[in-house]
Structure formats: structure tokens, C-alpha cells
Amino acid sequence: MIGQTVSNYRILEKIGEGGMGVVWKAIDTRLDRTVAVKLLTADLQADPEKARQLAHEARAVAALNHPNIVTIHSVEEEFETPFLTMELVRGTDLSHQIPEGGLAPDRMLHLGIQMAEALAAANELGITHRDLKPGNVMLTADGTKLLDFGLARTDLAVEG
């Protein structure tokens, strides 16, 4: 996949993988910016329900505007393969930052407040993350970013 182009996104490297999708670092050749592209795994690409879930995730996160939640740029399709594009979050996921014995209380409080504020913003719009875990929290130079709303539950206003 590295070096290939999906729509106007040139794939640079694999940066993550979950149960439903693979996330790639890519260059948006139209806007000349680095983004993340989330594609369904090869075995799920033909599953219309999984394509619906991916679009659902995009709509849910696109409704949010919060500094601690990943920004979705688009949901697209090429050759009947749905994908979404989002900001490339630079940092390390929380699962790689928790030392044996846990985080220091002041650090945990600092990160916990940011995560709680992000979740509160989502909940105000009727969005429940439902997969909050250290691997879905990125630690960046500016704080935390919540990722992967693929299992999110939303109210009807967001689902549209």
C-alpha cells in the first residue's frame, strides 16, 4: 500500500490498525498537507454494514469541534472502498506512556481533565464514545486527543 494513491491521497506509512480499519499517514496531493487516512480492513471492505459504520463514525466526529478530539476532514469512496480522512495526530498513544505502577496522580489528573472535557463536549451533542481506552487516546505536545469513534453511539440528530 505504501506509495500507492487512494483518490488524491498518496500513502506514506501505516500508523495504526484496529478491529475495523487500518490508518495510514498520507499526503493530500490537492492541498499539500499530511493527513491520516482510515480504510476498512481488506476483509471488511465488501461489507455494507462496515461501510455504514465508517460513515457513521465520520458523521459523529465531524459534528464535534474540540481541541481534544481528532478532526475529521472527509468521508470518501474510491472503487467502492469507503475511507475517511482526518487530521494527523502527532504523538504517542497513552497505552505506551503508562509506566508500571500507573501514572503519577498529577499527570493522571491533568490528562483526565482533558479527556473528561472532550467526552463532555461529545455527550452534549448526544455522542457516546463507547471505546475509550489508552490506545484511543493520543498524547501530543498540546495535551490529549481522543481518537476512534468507530463504536460511537449517537442520537438521531447526528446520524441524519
User: Annotated active-site positions, please?
Assistant: 131
All residues at 6 or more sequence positions from 25 whose CB lies less than 8 Å from its CB, including other chains: 11, 12, 13, 14, 15, 34, 35, 36, 88
Please tell me the distance from the alpha carbon of residue 11 to that of residue 146, in angstroms, as a whole number: 23
Cell numbers given for 33: 498537507
Please tell me the distance from the alpha carbon of residue 88 to that of residue 143, in angstroms, as a whole number: 15
| Residue 60 and residue 146 in contact, taking contact as beta carbons nearer than 8 Å | no
Please tell me the distance from the alpha carbon of residue 112 to that of residue 122, in angstroms, as a whole number: 15
Please tell me the distance from the alpha carbon of residue 136 to that of residue 30, in angstroms, as a whole number: 29
